Amino acid sequence: MMRIAVATLAFATLPALAAVSDLSSQYAGWAGGKSNADSLVNGLQSGKSVMLATQGPDNTRSLAGFQPPAPMSPEEVSAALAKARSTLASLGIRQPSADQIQAALIGGEVELGNGRTRMVQGSVTPAPSIATR
């Protein structure tokens, strides 16, 4: 009976793993590679550290890391990454640096191509708490 329970549990996790893999593959090009996309998806979903490293066209490296405020569902991760990509695209950034991805996700300054910066609200910032009396 124990084998059946373990097998059932293993098969139940396959769709979740496939969703994570699909989501990671979907954002690999935008995130600067598969390892960055894996770090984003796994970190956001687990609520654990996210580490990113990108290399710019002029051979500059960008390193960034952050801790998400809480674990997120695959749907929430997908929505947060889509919003971050959309935010950066609206600023003319199609291939973001690690710093730009971090800012789009948790909020902060984004350096634009013209040397200026723009403050953006993160797509994974915690929801404001509601005070009760």
The pLDDT mean for the chain works out to 85
Residue in the block written with tokens 């291939």: 95
What pLDDT does 114 receive? 87
DSSP 31-46: HTSHHHHHHHHHHHHH
pLDDT tens-digit profile of 48-84? 999 999 998 889 999 999 999 999 999 999 999 999 9
d(CA 49, CA 66): 6
Largest CA distance in the chain: 64
- What 8-state DSSP symbol labels residue 62? E
Structure tokens at 83: 């919003």
The 3-state DSSP class for residue 70 equals coil
Structure tokens at 101: 């991805």
d(CA 30, CA 101): 9
What pLDDT does 129 receive? 47
pLDDT tens-digit profile of 97-123? 999 999 999 999 999 988 899 999 999
